[in-house]
Chains A and B, each alone.
Chain A
Amino acid sequence: MSAPQDTFDADTSNRSWWERLRAFQQDKPHLFLLLIMVMVPLFLMNPSTWAVLTLSGLAMGAMLFLMASGMTLTFGLMNVLNLAHGSFISLGAFAGATVLTMWLNDYTSGSLWVNLVAVVPALLFALVVAGLLGVLFERLVIRPVYGDHLKQILVTVGGSIIVMELLQVIWGSNEIPVPRPEALRGALLIRDAIPVIGGIALEKYRLLAVVLGLAVYALMLWVIDRTRLGILIRAGVENREMVEVHGYRIRLLFLAVFVAGSALAGIGGAMWAMYREIITAHMGEELMISVIVVIILGGLGSVRGCFYGAMLVGLINLYVGFLEPRLAAVATVGLMVAVLMWRPQGLIPVIKV
């Protein structure tokens, strides 16, 4: 890194600018990378395309965050690699789709209110069902294999297969179409709203995804940073034994976090179902690749890292998908490889004892 510095030696003002940039890149690698990710495509496409892709990328990132945050928490606190996380995503998708289908058949009105209301019970049902499966799963599958990654991988992959087969038993093995509420179809057209960019069309559903993702992120940060439960979770990530020495039953904390993580996967799955408008039992499994990339990229166990990781993966998917569709999948993994070469612990590493 010394060579670029030398070239700026003559000009001190330039150098301090460079130094400041380096400091920013060192201290806030997640923001640095996100900025670069958003800025670079601006030179490769016209501004209104860029705006649409950026919103879509952020929406995809928000949904990925919902799906991945539970897994990163589970790993960070409990040191459990739950490869069955994808089946919770699928379950959430089916649960949400079921409620939506029933609700929208009864109320076919196009009013925004009825339509938005349909989304709420769908997401809540997905959350509850996935959470309940989480309780069962922790007891039956995870509990016997605490502390052994190899067994966790084997057992959770097995559990995942069972859950996905059960989904097929209940909902059938065909793809199921998911009705997206009328009010969430289409886009908000903004003409000449923003200088340079000009008129843009913002897809309503993606806006909802972004808002929901940000809300969940804010809630999670609030719980983790401001509440006693959050202090306990952070303490547990660092040193489980000392949490017990202080009189807290870490197993209960594990269960709570696992259930919360499962419930989040359920919501993420339901959101994804409405986004794609078609679901299969194996959708969760297919999403797991992105989910795993997100949590590794962000730093295993870090909720903040997971958020930024998800946004980066969402954005690169959309940008590269537009510029060179065949490279979209490669770009996701390429991003992870590049970040890990730069920061082997991920963007925001979690320190453990």
Chain B
Amino acid sequence: MKDLDPLVFVAVFQEMLGPLLWVMLLLIVAGTAAFGALLLKERTINSKRLLRAEMAGLLGGGLALVLMAKVSSSGFTDAGGPADWFLIAMVFGLGLAGTAILVYTYLGWRQPAAR
């Protein structure tokens, strides 16, 4: 009984986010595809752009924590044990990575690096 049915995930997230779920999934899929395509096209990582994306990522991670605090009527200051620190790291990490990839991709397609 402890197996997880992936359909349950979809159902729960659908109830939680409504149409926003599909917008987010679309953003994730489109963002990842555009990122992959950019890497294939350039065949390199542009370090200057990466740095800018990572700076934006830090902001994204912070925003993810703020958003989490808002919707849960609480905050990371309520952390009480290792599972909580893990959750904080995960929320921050996802916000950071997601934002960094999206910003890197956006910058890459908007102003291609000079060769």
Asked if chains A and B come from one complex, the reply is no
